[in-house]
Structure 1
Amino acid sequence: MDTFSQNNKTVAYNIYTGYWINWSKGHTLGATITLDRRDGSLLIAFLAMFVSVVGTSFWRISCLAFHSLYSTEAAQDALYHQRQAILRNSANSTSGLWSLLNVLWVWRRSAAQIKFTRTRPYQRILPIIGLAAICIGGFGTAGTFSSSISTAMGNEVLVRSPTCGLLQINSETTDMQSAATYLYPFGAELTNTYTNYARNCITDVSDLASCKAFIKRQLPTKIDRNASCPFQDGICKLDYGNIVFDTGYLDSHFDFGINAPPNERILFRRISSCAPIKTDGYQKPYQDPETRENYTRYYYTTSSQNEQGSDESFTYEYPQLSQRSIPEQGFNAMGGGKDYTIGVSSTYTFNGSYSSPPGLSLIPIPELEQPDADIHIIFLSANRILYAQIVDDPWFSAHRSSYTMKADSEYSGNTTTYQKDEPVSALACSIKEQYCDPSLPSGSQCTRFGGSTESYILAHYLAQSTKKRNIFDWISLTINVRSGSMATVPAYLEAASLAARYKLRVGYSGQLPDNQWQMEVESWHASSLATLQGAIADTAKGLSDLNLERWLVKANNTEERNICHNQKIQNSDYFNISVFGLCFTLVLGTIVICLSYTLEPMISWIQRSRNLDVYARLEWNTNETLQLQRLAHEELGAGVWNGCASNVPFTKSGERLAVLDLEDKDHPRLKAPPKTFEETQLAEMPKSNS
């Protein structure tokens, strides 16, 4: 079972073994049997042996054909008869090849002495040697590659679980304490797991086994790193150099691994646009009347009840940090703030208007509004982190000279450190989604773009049948509820989502590139797509924590159950057997084997019934080992023989046949047996010395 590590937990996928159809290869070629390693190994071993038997049978059929082709009533030389005997009696292509090579070796120098031969030995033997070599090579290779019946089907397997379902809050599961204890941490765990997957498997291109679980290692995305400001002019820090991600149309079958025929597939598209935005003109100082603590409040949203800039409609606030004035500081001193702080504010569009998380009623300011997209603002504070070099990145920007770090005994020279230009910087992202039904007529296949919640509703009404509506509802709800967007990554993981964090050492940072913010956003986007893949696969996998069972909504119709039972992942621990390849091999091989046993008697029966080619038939029979033995003994008058035209000749019980004459040990031959038992005894008695 493939696994993903989640802190101290292991989430395992239960793999289905049995018959199924991999629709990536079509109904016929996609018919598959998944077996565990033991059963798969036994089947592959059987197929290798079966192919070997088929090769032997094919050789026997070929021998029958060539023996009949070469058969002639005219008197022939010894080479002819030896070749015919080998064709008749070699058990397989290997023994036949060896015998033919021996014959060719012996006769190679005798060509000039053979007066009645129309061709040389090479011309008469090499074609059969070639046939034997082809049989050995062809069927040997076929036996070796019989495992291709499995490898050709790849490593795609189905996930099956009795707890396949979605995690949803409903009227019966609104206990906040339970949700805070189990449900919300579970979402953070998943985000962390698939963020690590993105870092290890996509960014670092690792070869870890866990990197090969999904149908696609990485979902495709087009990235424009020099995009114009996605919001109204004046709010972006950069006119160009912003970033846009477009996934294109992701296929539920080929990209998400939901195994389904073409008419049951859907498409999903997400476009995410991000840009660093200005804080000047969108911030105000604020003092808490109770604690007297000073804050800076940022206003990128307005309240439906309040005007922009009012104390009640602020988007984000952060305490004002006192600036320490230390003219000199040793390089190894513990200075600076040790980490970043991340905050995320989100508003969600629906039918052209916006909503925010429960308890709030914020909408984006006009400069950020996009009626078909959710708006997420990510706030970054570097606190008292000190940078070794000036940072020109628009989100991490640090140009304020801070402390002069004085070298100690281990280092030489002094260095100036820098602090972030402003306590908090902001990054705004608009995210919109779209669903399509490729089975609909062109021009009416897709919904319009909308936010994450809105697109789910639009997908529901795009479907033209109950069956397709159930498919849309299950997949879109999985995407909406379990995967989130790229803004989910910093919202859940906060500072841990930043790659810049890994350049920190006790509050000091190494040099950051000018496009560090783009690298962060690209990492979030990759993590969100990995989470999307994982959320769909994990829905089919079922629960790993029984504490979550109260929020589990299981599949309750045929389409939802089909999706649950047809989730594909990759797993190399199992064998996928091609039913087409298996049947083709077994059927064709069985035909060849059956022909090798039935072709000879069928041809013999036809020839006898119609009196056709009597010589070739009888020569085939008499060239058989037992018949050649009969001919040798019968020629000496040994035995009264029956079955002389069949496969097995026989004599009367007790009849004695010829024996070897060993007078010339270099030329052994048969001689007639003694006529009586007494003569045999006398012949075996030692001669007396007289």
Structure 2
Amino acid sequence: MSFEIYTGSWTDWSRGPVLGATLTLSSRDASLLLAFIAAFVTVVAIRLWLIIAFTTHQLAAAGGKHDGLYYQRQVILRNVKSAPAAVWTLPLALFCIIYSVGFAILAVFSSQISDSASAYRLLRSPSCGFQLPSEAYQKATFDNQRAALYSKECYSNTSSPMCNMLSTRELEWASSSVDCPFGGKVCLDTPAFKMESKMIDTHHDLGLNNPPKNRLKYKRETICSPLNTGNGFTQYINGSEADSLGWQDNVLIRYLYGGNLNGTINHTHIYNTFGRNINIGYSTWTFFYPYNSVWQPVDELLVPDTDLTLMLIAPNSVINLKPNDDPVFAASIPTNAQGAVGYLPDRWVSPIACIDQHRICNPNNDKCTPFLDRQSLVENAMKDPLALNVAQIVTAQRLRLVLWESSLFYHTIWTQTQSFLRAQEKVAGISGQPLPSNQWEIEMSALFNTTLANLQYHMMEYAAGSSVPTAVNITEPWDDPSADSGWAAAYKNMCYNQRTKETQGTLNFSILGLGLLFGLGLYIIVLSFILEFLMAWIQKWLGRGILRARRWERDATLQQMRLLYEIQGSGEWKGTTEDFPCTVSGEYFDHDEEVISSTTVEVRQAGPS
């Protein structure tokens, strides 16, 4: 899939319009923003200390006599511009502790701006639209191989990097044993195997980033059963017919699960038992119904409102090292091959029939279609009871195309008639490793996983484009002049709302987090600049706290220096209540330790009198 990650602001509707507001930036821009945030937090921390220092100074300012530590603390609070500079000199470290805790909280919060943002990205591709390949077989082969690999890697809790592309790692499902869904005696005397997905949400599971009102829920279930090869469902070809085909009697076997639609052929498949002698592994033949022009199944296999897949599995030359009682892969006939004991399959060909059904639900009113075949599903969903809006209808139309292309087990098997079998993976040459007694259920589960993975990929392909290495024609439904304008707009919007977990080096930021950080930070910065003037005005207006304001002025470094020189008798000063006092006499005076020391002694001696 050839796509890029969208950079800019968007809403992850999983988190709602507020928490889900997200800013996606490229690696370069994200680095610049993170650097700016770090610098901004540093500035905020400095300005926050000034607020704390001013507040603490004003609360502690009082008349009367105090010890030297008190005056030192007040001068430090007035003049030290950062907590680190004060932490070793402040007798009471309370203010520094308060600052450190506050700064730590702020630092943690700032890191969460990215960490707490959406884990998803929106993708963009110039190939948005319905993907119609010029070579259908090549695309189907590519898609099936990709889905089989993905399901094998990502539906088994591995940490493969390929598992990060789709919106959801896997689509969950459950299995159970049920009665045979087919009529007559076509089924083996063994329980059928039912596989049913959970309700698949088009937003959470398929990645269509929509608000709740535009979502759909979809569910599929598949029931598979091994079929009987007795009771009139097989027939050896003998006599003149065998001679006409060039074979002896009892070499060719007809499997009678249906013929062609025009009635000229009354069998499904002919198997040549010499397949056991040509040193090959498993072979599979597959058929589907309805909506094809080839095969008409027998009545026993017809179940209303279902899609049917028939697969015929032939073990051919495979010799099992251990006996097996699996209903499909059963092997209990001893043989001695090259001096080693093995077990031949119990049947030449083991058939399995599977039926699929689907349903669509509107989560806004909890109404659903009945379980139906893929063709009837969307037609039923378009009816009034579900009350779908335009966005939901267009989503259902996309789903119909995907189901038509890849929902049947037939679609998964026909391009890989041998390689899809997990049992084949345990064959070396013609020697088969031991298989569990539920191997056929393992095979059906793998097919179900592959089908679900195909659903995920095909739904994403509309917005991301196809990765198949062949020419693909792209149909843009919004460009159809005859299309309804509402539908056209909905189809176009779907190009911009596909989520993925692939990052391509981008980084997400929570817009809410950025807003709170910069809003709170700017408030602190502005407050730190106006707090002194604001408090001075309030104190003057109320007529209270004027002494505290004067103490703040007096404890400034330059005012402390002015007092020192005035005590020394050096210079005539003005601006005794301003930030920058200065001399008015223009005289020159000394500033050395002897003068200061003698003056200090004189002041101390004059104190008691």
> Do these two structures clear the TM 0.5 threshold for a shared fold by scoring above it?
yes
Alignment check: 8 A CA contact 1:339 1:383 kept: yes
1:447 aligns to 2:369 (yes or no): yes
Between 1:608-617 and 1:273-282, the stretch displaced more is: 608-617
The residue correspondences of 1:490-501 to structure 2 (distance < 5 A) are 490-501=413-424
**Secondary structure of residue in 1 paired with 2:208:** coil
When residues 662 and 394 of structure 1 are mapped into structure 2, their CA distance, relative to the original with a 3 A threshold, is farther
Alignment check: 8 A CA contact 2:215 2:392 kept: no
Q: How many angstroms apart in 2 are the aligned matches of 1:229 and 1:382?
A: 24
When residues 460 and 319 of structure 1 are mapped into structure 2, their CA distance, relative to the original with a 3 A threshold, is farther
Code of the residue aligned with 2:170 in structure 1: it is: Q
- 1:360 corresponds to which of 294, 317, 320: 294
**1:211 aligned partner:** 163
Between 1:229-238 and 1:61-70, the stretch displaced more is: 229-238
Q: What is the CA distance between 1:64 and its match in structure 2? A: 1.4
**Secondary structure of residue in 1 paired with 2:40:** helix
Question: Number of matched residues?
Answer: 585
Higher relative contact order (CA 8 A, sep 6+): 2
Code of the residue aligned with 1:402 in structure 2: it is: T
When residues 465 and 254 of structure 1 are mapped into structure 2, their CA distance, relative to the original with a 3 A threshold, is closer
When residues 551 and 261 of structure 1 are mapped into structure 2, their CA distance, relative to the original with a 3 A threshold, is closer
The residue correspondences of 1:134-153 to structure 2 (distance < 5 A) are 134-140=98-104, 142-143=106-107, 146-153=110-117
Q: How many angstroms apart in 2 are the aligned matches of 1:662 and 1:238?
A: 115
The residue correspondences of 1:293-312 to structure 2 (distance < 5 A) are 293=247, 295-301=252-258, 305-306=262-263, 312=265
Q: How many angstroms apart in 2 are the aligned matches of 1:512 and 1:387?
A: 9
When residues 223 and 16 of structure 1 are mapped into structure 2, their CA distance, relative to the original with a 3 A threshold, is same
**1:229 aligned partner:** 180
Code of the residue aligned with 2:517 in structure 1: it is: T
Alignment check: 8 A CA contact 1:18 1:33 kept: yes
Q: What is the CA distance between 1:545 and its match in structure 2? A: 5.5
1:645 aligns to 2:587 (yes or no): no
The residue correspondences of 1:502-517 to structure 2 (distance < 5 A) are 502-517=425-440
CA offsets, 1:200-241, max 9 Å, x none? 1223x22122112222211111211x333232363322443x
**Secondary structure of residue in 1 paired with 2:416:** helix
Q: How many angstroms apart in 2 are the aligned matches of 1:450 and 1:586?
A: 54
Q: How many angstroms apart in 2 are the aligned matches of 1:372 and 1:320?
A: 36
CA offsets, 1:74-121, max 9 Å, x none? 121111111111211221122222221xxx3xxxxxxxxxxxxxxxxx
1:194 aligns to 2:147 (yes or no): yes
- 2:395 corresponds to which of 469, 472, 480: 472
Q: What is the CA distance between 1:668 and its match in structure 2? A: 10
The residue correspondences of 1:339-488 to structure 2 (distance < 5 A) are 339-348=281-290, 355=291, 357=292, 359-360=293-294, 362=296, 364-406=297-339, 415-440=340-365, 442=366, 445-461=367-383, 464=387, 467-468=390-391, 470-488=393-411
Say what the alpha-carbon RMSD is for the aligned residues: 2.5
Query: Identity rate of aligned residues, in percent?
Result: 27
- 1:132 corresponds to which of 96, 102, 117: 96
Alignment check: 8 A CA contact 1:388 1:416 kept: yes
Q: How many angstroms apart in 2 are the aligned matches of 1:323 and 1:162?
A: 52
Q: What is the CA distance between 1:658 and its match in structure 2? A: 4.7
Alignment check: 8 A CA contact 2:571 2:585 kept: no
The residue correspondences of 1:38-77 to structure 2 (distance < 5 A) are 38-77=28-67
Q: How many angstroms apart in 1 are the aligned matches of 2:392 and 2:497?
A: 18
Alignment check: 8 A CA contact 1:344 1:490 kept: yes
Q: What is the CA distance between 1:507 and its match in structure 2? A: 1.2
The residue correspondences of 1:661-680 to structure 2 (distance < 5 A) are 661=593
Between 1:484-493 and 1:45-54, the stretch displaced more is: 484-493
Q: How high is the TM-score relative to the length of structure 2?
A: 0.90
**2:485 aligned partner:** none
Alignment check: 8 A CA contact 1:183 1:548 kept: no
Q: How many angstroms apart in 2 are the aligned matches of 1:258 and 1:400?
A: 53
Code of the residue aligned with 1:613 in structure 2: it is: G
Q: Gaps spanning 5+ residues in structure 1: where?
A: 1-10, 105-124, 170-178, 325-335, 349-354, 407-414, 673-690
Q: What is the CA distance between 1:521 and its match in structure 2? A: 0.9
When residues 303 and 64 of structure 1 are mapped into structure 2, their CA distance, relative to the original with a 3 A threshold, is same
Alignment check: 8 A CA contact 1:659 1:671 kept: no
- 1:576 corresponds to which of 470, 484, 508: 508
Q: How many angstroms apart in 1 are the aligned matches of 2:115 and 2:255?
A: 58
**2:122 aligned partner:** 158
Q: Gaps spanning 5+ residues in structure 2: where?
A: 480-487, 603-609
Alignment check: 8 A CA contact 1:381 1:424 kept: yes
**2:531 aligned partner:** 599
Q: How many angstroms apart in 2 are the aligned matches of 1:366 and 1:447?
A: 26
Q: What is the CA distance between 1:565 and its match in structure 2? A: 0.8
The residue correspondences of 1:273-292 to structure 2 (distance < 5 A) are 273-280=223-230, 281-286=232-237, 287=241, 291-292=245-246
CA offsets, 1:586-640, max 9 Å, x none? 0111001100111110111222344321110010111111221222122212222
**2:459 aligned partner:** 536
Q: How many angstroms apart in 2 are the aligned matches of 1:503 and 1:582?
A: 55
Code of the residue aligned with 2:344 in structure 1: it is: Q
**Secondary structure of residue in 2 paired with 1:367:** helix
